[in-house]
Structure 1
Amino acid sequence: MKKSSSTYGILVLAMAMMLLGNTSLTAQVLNKPIAADNPNLAGNSAWTAACASASFNEYFVNFTWSPPLVDSNNEFILELSDSYGNFGSPRELARVSDKNTVFDFEFEFALPNDIRGEGYKFRVRSTSPAKTSPASDAYPMYYIDYNSPLLISENGSGTIPSGGLIQICGGGSVTLKPHNIPNAGTYLYNWYRSGTLLAQKTESITVSTPGMYYVELDYGSICSGSANTLSNTIEISNGSSLGIAINGDSNVELCPGDPYTLEASISGMGLTYTWLKDGDVISGPTLEGSTFAVNTGISGFEGDYEVEISGPSACTERSSKVALRSAGSFEVSRQNEENIVLLPSQSKTLSVSTTAGSPTYQWYKDGAPIADATNSSLVVNTVGEYYAEVTDNGGSCSAGPKTSEITTIVSPDSFELEIEFIGAYTDCENTDATISLAAVKAVSDTGAKTDVTAELETSFAYQWKLDGATISGETSKTITVSNQEDNGAYKLDGTLDGFNATSNTLNVKLSANQNLTVSANGTILCEGGEAIVLTSSQSLTDQTFEWLKDGQVVDTSSESFTANEIGTYQLIIRTNDCPIISNEVAIRAFDESLLVLDKPKDLIIIEGETGTITASGADSYEWFDANNNLIATQDSYGFQEEGEYLLVASFGSCTVSRVITVVYRDMFAIPNVITANGDGINDLWILPNTYSRDQNVLVTIFNERGEQVFSQTAYENNWPQSTMAFNKPSMIFYYKITRGGKALKQGTITVIK
């Protein structure tokens, strides 16, 4: 269809404004996004709440906008607010770059897995030009990451009561909590009592009101039901406290074999009884089992007894404890070590203590009674197994004798010493090491070992040895090694009453603690340049060493090494137990790009001011003026005069030269009128040197129809060309000056012929 002249003019004006970035008369309109139908599902209705999960997470939002057209590099971005509808830190959901001429389209997005809330909103943002749409309506949005039924129990213990019933008594309360959901504290909950939603949203709830309690995860007004997290039901009921007790005294002494029955203070009423001893169930639960007969004829009947009752309309409650004790009971305790080492000519004293009121004693050796050994202590000087038998001859009832624990007396066949490092130790890393006696062990003729460190470590005489040789003056239990010359195998010998003991061996390899430095006369390798020679800070005469390149050995005989290839070089001296490793020297290939200037070599300065160029990457620098006079040797120079300058940068024996051109900045403005009449005056559109002849600056010119007629980087002040025809006495053109895609200047040029 043919456009009218007025329509055509509007399009030309819109095109010109887009070229110039001028949106003062008209601009794009971004409309608020709205929820849209999912084309991959049956039906054609838009979603009203997003209930996403691992099995379904696909949603669409419709977006419309109005021309003029956005820029060709524009992107439309769909953003999500927080759960309160705020866009302080929006989250990007989707981004499209192929809809810059489509005014009505859908964004597809997936819900992030940490989204939970009722008031989320969308908006759409364009990047070129930068605009933002109004926010959408609020939507409930939840990612359902847990969708299994919850299980609740008292305090989240995991034990669901029989029949789901919990009784509370005497104004008490009970805390209900789910026990099968990970990270339970990160969710909100809907708690119900007999179908009524409660106000609490927390993980646990403490209740005292009777009712049927259950819970579900709070996934909002719409998504909660579809998540299927509704829990089991716990019934809370009020019971009556009956005040249960055990009849009789709370402390009872019994002679072994005497009959005794415990009796609950309440009987009948259809109650169930459970009897406990020292907290463990010993009988029940038994209906109407209100008594318990204690068997005092067995060992260990002594203890604390309780009874617990439960039943219809009665609180589950437990009585106070009743302590049953044996009237003839007493204890026997050994008062010495379990294992004792007896050296020749030594004797040891064994003893026992007892709580018996009127005790008598009999000592045994290897199971046989010892004549006349009838005291609470016994002096022994022979090996064997010893114990005491104690009889209580007083009290209200007789009791059988009790024996003490066995003490084993051994005569060693030999001794062993164990030594260990004190503190952290690693070969070739530590610069010192401390070794100490760790244990003394007696060894029997059968090979059995007994730790006797506490008894005998101070009795031995010690001597340290290095590689089998005695170390003069080292006769304590500990030795410290601090010189690499003392590296080797360390052992500790000990003597006691004719016994000679020796220890395990510990090898010590201390670091040399020496600095080894490799230096080079350069690090840049260039063709025809001086050879790069690596030298060591230590003499390599009579040393075993290796020159390495990139971790591989390349020389083992040259005291200095000539590097002919790029790579990383290093020296290792291996003469000692621990190698000495040098620093790394990286040799690089020569490349003129190694010289870096912080400003273009064509420098524009304001007359009367200083413009500084700083170089980096080289070893040294020389700056020369146009007459080849050396004017500076540092890495930077401040220019104040126009002209050509020379920078010579040295990389070892390699050099790079750069010519620096310095000109004064043109102070005139960008012209908007030229007279292309061929008289040599104002025939060309001349730009200040801030924008001309710069390789990074692009100059583009359009005619009044928006057609590009000229485009050039490093503009040479050469428009219009002599071949360009102007069919009107006065014509208007539009220009745009950019650097790296960013607009610097724009405006019009009037060409008068």
Structure 2
Amino acid sequence: MPYPKNAHFGLLLALFIGCLGNSWAQTLNAPTPADNPNLPGNSPWSAACASASFNEYFMDFSWSTPLVNSNNEFILELSDATGDFSSATELAKVSDDNLDLAVSFSFAVPNTVRGSGYKFRVRSTSPAITGPETAAFNVYFMDFTSSILISEDASGVIPPGGELQICDGNAVTIGAHNVPNADTYTYRWTRSGTVLAETGPSITVSQTGMYMVEIDYGPVCSGSANTLSNSITVTNGSTIGIAINPPANTALCSGETQVLEANVSGQGLSYTWKKDGTTVAGPTVDAHTYTVDASNTGFAGDYTVEISGAGACREESAAVTITNTGDFDISLNQGTQLSLLPGDSVNLGVTTTAASPTYQWYRNNIIITGATNANFDATQAGDYFVRVGTSGGACASATKDSEVMTVSLPASFDITIAYNGNFTNCVSSDATLEISLIEAVDGSGTPSDVTSQMQSQFSYQWQKDGVNVAGATNATHTVSDAADNGDYRVVATLDSFTPQSNTLGVALGSGQTLTITATSTVLCEGGDAITLSTDTALGGKTFGWFRDGTQVDASSPNYSPTEPGTYTLRITEDSCTVDSNEVVITNFDDSQVTLDSDTNVVILEGSSQTVTASGADSYAWFNSANEQISNGPSVTLSLEGDYRMVATSGSCTVTRNLTVSFRDTFGIPNVITANGDGLNDQWILPNSYANDPDVTVIIYNHLGDEVLNQNDYQNDWPSSSTAFPKQNMVFYYTIKNTTETLKKGTITVIR
């Protein structure tokens, strides 16, 4: 029978052959520059010259029907500087104007864009269509829009009169010194109006002329950026041959001076004096001399002079080396903070590089009579230093003072004890305690480390929990029995000093292993109770059962969990805790028991099918008479009827019901006679498709309207109340499951 010809026929074809489509689609045009409505005048832009003070541009875009989808977005995109869109930049998006065939975009130029080859295009998202590209545009974000300042070597010092000299075939380097991140730009250098090939932030020149530079923002935007620099005129000059006249003395003693003099003077030149390459004077006109003063710290070094001026080449002299003949070093043989015990002495000493040194010791800035050696034994508290002189060499009168060494009588002592080696509470089997630090504390509360000097001078008594430990009188003490766990300290004695140390706790581990077991690890409703227990005797001990780290019981040696979780047992003994292994209890998941077939089994009469279960410990299969027909994981079924499988996992059981029916041998009817005579009045499907909740039956009338959409079809269409206004009406059906279409066809209803 031919398909009906009407306005809905396309829908029917789409349902059954799935291939209806449009013969034409939307056309997107290339965007065009548009006038900025926020500015006076009415002219589209031809180049985008953006900056921090202005960055607003518009583009118009048009397209043709059919209409795009309601969720469509039009996106304006920008290429890279070569016109490539493989990594396009999204400039603007319009998502609320899908009915107008003309769209306007407003966009800002990204601050990383600089070039003359940028292109634009528009693409839609629903449907996904990419429009044509525009021609190339000059698009620049001009983030530097000030006048460039140039100077020699980009030093920031613009030469007087803006003039530099080059001499004897040499060259001079000119560079921009006020442009941040100067290397990120392209530059346009000119010499007397002629554009040069160099494009970097600096240029090395050997030709005379007037040099200027600006940032190259392309042929359109460069002028509006106003970056044109100051000018520097390079001229030819002559070398003078600058030098420093040989000084009378280059080896100075402390307090001496030496005048350095340039060999050229009186020509109005500027002089810059340098020491070790760093300017120390100038540039100053006619300052052809410089005085080196040996009274100044660090005066020794290499001195040069540089000259510059009109008609003269900038040149620098060879270096003259000035040395400090009277300089020498003094090193202390000990620290600067020392403690002195009553009745004792402390040796102070220095080492020096002075030639034929002399020594004089001072205490509190007063000379110590007779203390003229490199070492001195101090028996009094005070501030000590030694003045070292030279009795030979070129600077016989030079002297130098050492660092100050402070000798203090302690007001008290502090003693600190620590564990010797690695010690872990409740794990280690022994612990050795030792004196780790002895500090002498002066009257101002300042401590000094005197451990190496004083440890052997004290006598010691170790205490546990404030009580003396018999025989524990050494500088170290070892605890090796858990029965001796406690808090330890030491009391030290020296003359009238009896400092007490800090306290350290010692808790030795018992080495005990705690193990718990469970009668089962799976909880199920109606199943046997689970019992957690241990072989360790818990009588008289502090203990607790924990679920997921939270204590749930502290009284019973055995515990019956009623919730899933991770269970442990903890014993506390001698201030230490011992944790057991973990036992994980889970709820029984009956979904883990599965069948390898549907619960509705359809077979051909005279054949059989084997059904296999998995996920449990044991299985029992029963027929409708409750007779056991298998006790293994599989059963072979050949008769129609209802069956039951009971799976057991531990004390948990799961039941699965199956129905076996014979497969119908008739096909899907395409004609029914809905005349109420009881014969072929309804559309009867084979068992493969009927009475199955996973199968959907859909019936359409000749207009493409659904008249039935039903899962678990019961072979009951049409109902007795369904009216058919015409003879021999044709309906269309689709039968499908969750993943595919199983059958399609027509039904002719005759009445």
TM-score (norm 2): 0.69
Contact 1:648/1:656 (CA < 8 Å) preserved in 2? yes
Give the aligned length.
716
Query: Residue 34 and residue 285 in structure 1: after superposition, are their counterparts in 2 closer, same or farther (change >3 A)?
Result: same
Query: Residue 221 and residue 338 in structure 1: after superposition, are their counterparts in 2 closer, same or farther (change >3 A)?
Result: same
User: What does the per-residue CA deviation read over 1:505-539, in whole Å, with 9 as the maximum and x for residues that have no partner?
Assistant: 3345678886575858676575x776666656755
What SS does the aligned partner of 2:8 have? helix
The corresponding residue for 1:322 is 320
Alignment of 1:517-532 (within 5 A): 519=518, 524=523, 526=525
User: What does the per-residue CA deviation read over 1:452-503, in whole Å, with 9 as the maximum and x for residues that have no partner?
Assistant: 3455668878886654567799999788989977654344566789976653
**Aligned partner (choices 714, 717, 728) of residue 716 of structure 1:** 714
Alignment of 1:63-462 (within 5 A): 64-66=64-66, 76=72, 118-119=118-119, 121-124=121-124, 126=126, 132-133=128-129, 135-137=131-133, 170-171=170-171, 173=173, 189-193=185-189, 205=201, 207-208=203-204, 211-215=211-215, 233=229, 245-248=243-246, 252-255=250-253, 259-267=257-265, 270-277=268-275, 282-296=280-294, 301-309=299-307, 321-341=319-339, 349-378=347-376, 385-396=383-394, 398-410=396-408, 415-420=413-418, 437-444=435-442, 447-453=445-451, 455=453
Q: Which amino acid aligns with 2:251?
A: E
| TM-fit CA distance, 1:380 | 5.4
Q: Over alpha carbons, which structure has the higher Rg?
A: 2
Contact 1:490/1:505 (CA < 8 Å) preserved in 2? yes
| TM-fit CA distance, 1:577 | 3.5
Instruction: Decide which moves more: 690-699 or 32-41.
Output: 32-41
**Aligned partner (choices 733, 741, 746) of residue 744 of structure 1:** 741
| TM-fit CA distance, 1:28 | 6.1
Query: Residue 376 and residue 614 in structure 1: after superposition, are their counterparts in 2 closer, same or farther (change >3 A)?
Result: same
Contact 2:334/2:348 (CA < 8 Å) preserved in 1? yes
User: What does the per-residue CA deviation read over 1:527-578, in whole Å, with 9 as the maximum and x for residues that have no partner?
Assistant: x776666656755433334567888766544445566789998766555545
**Aligned partner (choices 533, 540, 543) of residue 542 of structure 1:** 540
Q: Please, what is the CA RMSD of the aligned residues?
A: 6.2
User: What does the per-residue CA deviation read over 1:55-85, in whole Å, with 9 as the maximum and x for residues that have no partner?
Assistant: 9799896655549x99xxx965667887566
Contact 2:565/2:586 (CA < 8 Å) preserved in 1? yes
Instruction: Decide which moves more: 398-407 or 39-48.
Output: 39-48
Query: Residue 89 and residue 299 in structure 1: after superposition, are their counterparts in 2 closer, same or farther (change >3 A)?
Result: closer
Contact 1:66/1:103 (CA < 8 Å) preserved in 2? no
1:111 and 1:471 map into 2 onto residues whose CA distance is 83
Query: Residue 675 and residue 533 in structure 1: after superposition, are their counterparts in 2 closer, same or farther (change >3 A)?
Result: same
2:266 and 2:376 map into 1 onto residues whose CA distance is 60
1:509 and 1:141 map into 2 onto residues whose CA distance is 80
User: What does the per-residue CA deviation read over 1:264-316, in whole Å, with 9 as the maximum and x for residues that have no partner?
Assistant: 34445544334345666543342332222334566765455444555568777
1:104 and 1:539 map into 2 onto residues whose CA distance is 88
The corresponding residue for 1:3 is none
Query: Residue 75 and residue 478 in structure 1: after superposition, are their counterparts in 2 closer, same or farther (change >3 A)?
Result: farther
The corresponding residue for 2:621 is 624
TM-score (norm 1): 0.69
2:617 and 2:319 map into 1 onto residues whose CA distance is 94
Contact 1:490/1:506 (CA < 8 Å) preserved in 2? yes
2:746 and 2:500 map into 1 onto residues whose CA distance is 103
1:508 and 1:535 map into 2 onto residues whose CA distance is 31
Q: Which amino acid aligns with 1:733?
A: F
Instruction: Decide which moves more: 423-432 or 242-251.
Output: 423-432
The corresponding residue for 1:31 is 27
| TM-fit CA distance, 1:16 | 1.9
What SS does the aligned partner of 1:208 have? strand
Q: Which amino acid aligns with 2:705?
A: E
2:564 and 2:142 map into 1 onto residues whose CA distance is 58
| TM-fit CA distance, 1:171 | 3.9
1:457 and 1:366 map into 2 onto residues whose CA distance is 29
Contact 1:599/1:614 (CA < 8 Å) preserved in 2? no
| TM-fit CA distance, 1:252 | 0.2
Q: Which amino acid aligns with 2:707?
A: V
Question: Which consecutive residues of structure 2, in runs of 5 or more, have no partner in the other structure?
Answer: none
| TM-fit CA distance, 1:14 | 1.9
Query: Residue 265 and residue 524 in structure 1: after superposition, are their counterparts in 2 closer, same or farther (change >3 A)?
Result: farther
What SS does the aligned partner of 2:244 have? coil
User: What does the per-residue CA deviation read over 1:166-187, in whole Å, with 9 as the maximum and x for residues that have no partner?
Assistant: 9797446577698757xx99xx
Percent of aligned pairs sharing the same letter:
30
| TM-fit CA distance, 1:689 | 5.5
1:479 and 1:522 map into 2 onto residues whose CA distance is 49
Query: Residue 570 and residue 750 in structure 1: after superposition, are their counterparts in 2 closer, same or farther (change >3 A)?
Result: same
Question: Is 1:12 the counterpart of 2:13 in the alignment?
Answer: no
Contact 1:359/1:392 (CA < 8 Å) preserved in 2? yes
Instruction: Decide which moves more: 621-630 or 695-704.
Output: 621-630
User: What does the per-residue CA deviation read over 1:685-722, in whole Å, with 9 as the maximum and x for residues that have no partner?
Assistant: 56566654443443222223222222212233444556
Query: Residue 371 and residue 570 in structure 1: after superposition, are their counterparts in 2 closer, same or farther (change >3 A)?
Result: closer
| TM-fit CA distance, 1:451 | 1.6
1:56 and 1:430 map into 2 onto residues whose CA distance is 74
1:543 and 1:471 map into 2 onto residues whose CA distance is 28
Contact 2:215/2:222 (CA < 8 Å) preserved in 1? no
1:484 and 1:711 map into 2 onto residues whose CA distance is 80
Query: Residue 443 and residue 172 in structure 1: after superposition, are their counterparts in 2 closer, same or farther (change >3 A)?
Result: same
The corresponding residue for 2:18 is 22
Query: Residue 144 and residue 328 in structure 1: after superposition, are their counterparts in 2 closer, same or farther (change >3 A)?
Result: closer
1:536 and 1:292 map into 2 onto residues whose CA distance is 95
Contact 2:91/2:107 (CA < 8 Å) preserved in 1? no
User: What does the per-residue CA deviation read over 1:370-396, in whole Å, with 9 as the maximum and x for residues that have no partner?
Assistant: 454444444556655544333333345
The corresponding residue for 1:698 is 696
Contact 1:352/1:376 (CA < 8 Å) preserved in 2? yes
Query: Residue 148 and residue 563 in structure 1: after superposition, are their counterparts in 2 closer, same or farther (change >3 A)?
Result: farther
Contact 1:546/1:573 (CA < 8 Å) preserved in 2? yes
Contact 1:362/1:374 (CA < 8 Å) preserved in 2? yes
Contact 1:437/1:477 (CA < 8 Å) preserved in 2? yes
Query: Residue 646 and residue 251 in structure 1: after superposition, are their counterparts in 2 closer, same or farther (change >3 A)?
Result: farther
Question: Which consecutive residues of structure 1, in runs of 5 or more, have no partner in the other structure?
Answer: 1-7
2:165 and 2:257 map into 1 onto residues whose CA distance is 38
What SS does the aligned partner of 2:707 have? strand
Q: Which amino acid aligns with 2:439?
A: K
Alignment of 1:726-737 (within 5 A): 732-737=730-735
| TM-fit CA distance, 1:358 | 3.9
1:16 and 1:356 map into 2 onto residues whose CA distance is 112
